Amino acid sequence: MNRTLTTLALASALALVNTAAQAEGCTKGAAVGGVTGHVAGDHGVAGAAAGCAIGHHEAKKKDKAASAAAASGAAK
């Protein structure tokens, strides 16, 4: 119970942190991955690391798609 509350508090704190040093998508991915890893069997840290990597990757894909759409819209 105490470990669950600690994990949830840490995830909430990570979700609220907004610094320029954070990679885009990392904070949200780390929070979701940490909770999922914890629920899946006490792998919260590994889940947070994987979630950060996946969140950053997805944010880059979204930015790239938005840039491509803007470039094709400007070319017309």
Residue range 32-74, pLDDT digits in tens: 898 999 899 888 889 899 988 898 888 889 889 999 888 887 6
Domain boundaries, the chain: 2-16+25-75
Cβ-count burial 11-46 (b if 16+ within 10 Å, e if not):
beebeeeeeeeeeebbbbbbbbbbbebbeeeebbee
Per-residue pLDDT band for 76 (boundaries 50, 70, 90) equals low
For the segment 14-26, the average pLDDT, to the nearest whole number, is: 63
Taking the C-alpha atoms of residue 27 and residue 67, their distance in angstroms, rounded to an integer, is 23
Per-residue pLDDT band for 20 (boundaries 50, 70, 90) equals very low
Residue 7, pLDDT score = 81
Which pair of structure tokens corresponds to residue 33? 């991955």
pTM higher than the cut 0.75: no
